[in-house]
Amino acid sequence: MAGIRFLTNEANKVEGLAYAGFETFRGSPYTSCARETGQNSRDAMRGSDPVRVSFDLLQVDRADMPFADELQHAVRCCLKAPQNEKTKAHLERALAAISSPKIKVLRIADINTTGLVGPVDDPGSVFTALVKGDGITNKQDETSAGSFGIGKNAAFAVSELQTVIYSTCYEDEDKQKRFAAQGRLRLISHTDGERKCSAEGYWGDVDFGAIENADDVPGWLARDEIGTSIYAIGFDERGHWASRMTLSLVTNFFAAIERGQIQFAVDGKPINRSSLDSVLADKALEKLAEEHDQLAELERARRLLLCIRSEAATRHNITVPGLGDFTLHLLVSENLPREVHVLRNGIYITDNFAKFSQPMRLFPGTREFTAVLEPASSTAGRSPSALLKQLENPAHDAFEPDRIAEPLAQQLARDQIKHLIGKVRKIIRTLAKIDEVEYSRLDELSAMFADTGSTRDDGREDEEKDPDAYVYQKPRRGTRRQAAGVTGKGKGRKRGGSGQKQAGSRTGTTRKTQRPSVTSAAVPLEGIRSTLKNGDPRVRTLWFTPTATGEILLAVEASGLTDDVGLDLATSTLGTVSKGRVRTSVRAGERVQLDVTLTEPFAGPIELNAVRFTQTTAEEVA
């Protein structure tokens, strides 16, 4: 008869709840469960139609749970075994879950997949590898996303009973449809009467076998369409579970969704090619991402999807001898963070090859860009994705050469990856290079430049001077003034001067602006850029990334003069302008772009300074 049976613990082994396979996913159970189960379904794709995966919360009557009494008894036995307070608290929650009249079950069901191919009693079958295997993969494709057999444990991390049931339909060798269902659970080592039991148990037919007749399982476990259903028994339902799984799916599978390879439904809400944009733009999802420190992942998915879609992006085929073909998508545009990300099988993996000494972080001398690197979908011989699969760590977020044990093969992999990244860098340097650097700030050499000059050119005051007609005067050594205790970009601002105009080799004029000193804390700014808008020396487009969140006062100064020279602002497309400065709100790490109009034309190099806006600041600049 069908029922729950635990392995015998003849060695008196002490086994706790903290099983390594489950603990891997405890820190982010919803995120991990969505990614890992979605990945398994994507790799089991059958035919050309998109894989469809649904996540639904069921409320199953306890009377319809065929093993409820047995599982409740097992939990009670575990509570009698020695344990710490943490384990006791977990088991008490498990007992409450299985004793409830309604038992929560998370069902993850896929369609257009191969199902868990049997035979169910074959040690080498996909079914056995998933249900009874440890540390082995149930995937036959050498380019599939998983390679350790660890991801299947993510479903256990969302079960308070640490119990998962698999129900599947598949085609056998004769193309006949077959059904199989079996459950696996892991509690702690315990004693049931005279019998010493291991932590590991199974639900199914006699002798730890699978149930192969769909009529022998309750209706909520049966299925007659080829594919697989996974049931996490005693689902650990917490706030916003569906939204958190949705966030995981769109940030990891955006490319596969966009290409029609997979589509999801979470708690009845679809995530497919048609709805992807609205899901990614959803303000409630964005707020949730911010609350759970995943806003960067959401914004990254938006950027990479833009890169893959954009007609402005360029596509480049890269061939590495002995490895295969890759595709590089490159989008060069303002407000992008100079990044290269790697996808495999349409699933996000990482943004670096740091373990190959290729962090892909620094791209000096280039314009802002975003790039996506993918193994080609099909190549002659061995696919490049097969090597990446070997190099990929269990968390699917890094490539590590030491995962190849054979020294010669490892060195070959190192050489091939470095060759690949070298080609990627060459493409980026060629297409994203800065053709002309307008200005370079070299404070250390300021004493070598002329202080003032006169010219025989009687053109407009803000017009570029003729270098052949310009008369240089004797250099004057000066010292730049800087707010005490603050260095670098975003330093505190210190004003002063006579109000006289400065003339020199830079185009246009400006004046020293008499303002009181502001002693409030400086807000460092990163990635500062500035360009004249339409060549007008009065109008600038500014870009910067603040390192703090809040309201700031932003000031513009002429750069490279012997004294700080403030440039008064008349208007700004963001915030409000007061006393020549911009007051606006910013977020840490969020790129800011604005256009400002100067009260006087100035086409020379500038610097930006920011301080927090507080009541004290307001009084100081009033």
Task: Tell me which DSSP letter residue 67 carries.
Answer: T
Judged against a pLDDT cut of 50, whether residue 447 lies above it is answered with no
Please tell me which residue, 147 or 313, carries the higher pLDDT value: 313
3-state DSSP helix/strand/coil % of the chain, to nearest 5: 25, 30, 40
pLDDT greater than 90 at residue 470: no
pLDDT at residue 206 is higher than 90:
no
225 band by pLDDT with thresholds 50, 70 and 90: very high
Residue type, 72: Q
Does residue 329 sit in the same domain as residue 301? no
Last residue of a domain, one of 431, 451, 477: 431
Structural domain ending residue among the three candidates 215, 237, 259: 237
Instruction: Report the alpha-carbon distance of residue 310 to residue 301 in Å, rounded.
Output: 14
Q: How confident is the model at residue 200 (pLDDT cuts 50, 70, 90)?
A: very high
Are 615 and 570 members of one domain? yes
Instruction: State whether 303 and 314 are in the same domain.
Output: no
Share of the chain above pLDDT 90, in %: 49
In a shared domain, residues 297 and 366: no
Closest CA to 508 of 591, 601, 408: 601
Which residue, 182, 208, 237, sits at the end of a domain? 237
Average pLDDT, the chain: 81
Indicate whether 460 pLDDT > 60. Answer: no
> What are the residues whose beta carbons fall under 8 Å from the beta carbon of 232, sequence distance 6 or more?
33, 105, 106, 108, 155, 156, 158, 159, 163, 164
Residue 438 lies inside a defined structural domain of this protein: no
Judged against a pLDDT cut of 50, whether residue 580 lies above it is answered with: yes
Q: Are residues 531 and 383 in the same domain?
A: no
pLDDT at 506 over 90: no
- In contact, 517 and 619? CB cutoff 8 Å: no
Do 267 and 318 share a domain, yes or no?
no
Beta strands in 321-387 (DSSP E): 324-332, 339-344, 347-350, 369-375
Instruction: Tell me whether the omega of the peptide bond preceding residue 546 falls within 30 degrees of 0, making it cis.
Output: no
Q: How far apart are CA 274 and CA 257, in angstroms?
A: 9
Looking at the structure, tell me whether residues 270 and 302 fall in a common domain: yes
Q: Is residue 367 part of a domain?
A: yes
On the question of pLDDT at 137 being above 60, the answer is no
How wide is the angle at C-alpha 597 spanned by C-alphas 591 and 603, nearest 5°? 90
Total domain count, the chain: 4
* pLDDT of the residue at 618: 57
Q: 200 lies in a domain? A: yes
Residues 98 and 176 in one domain: yes
Say yes or no: 216 and 197 in one domain.
Answer: yes
**Strand 453-455 relative to strand 470-472: parallel, antiparallel, unpaired?**
antiparallel
Q: What is the pLDDT of residue 560?
A: 55
* pTM for the predicted model, two decimal places: 0.68
Strand-strand pairing, 470-472 and 227-235: unpaired
Per-residue confidence at 67, pLDDT binned at 50, 70, 90?
Answer: very high
Helices and strands of the chain, counted as H and E runs: 12, 28
Q: In the 8-state DSSP scheme, what is residue 482?
A: -
Q: Is the dihedral of CA 568, 574, 577, 582 positive or negative?
A: negative
Nearest to 605, CA basis, from 495, 458, 440: 440
In a shared domain, residues 269 and 224: no
Domain assignment of residue 302, yes or no: yes
Range of the domain at 409: 310-431
Please report, for residues 326, 435, 455, 459, 615, the alpha-carbon distance to residue 464 in angstroms, rounded to integers and kept in the order given.
47, 20, 11, 9, 42
258/347 same-domain check? no
Distance from C-alpha of 128 to C-alpha of 622, rounded to nearest angstrom: 75
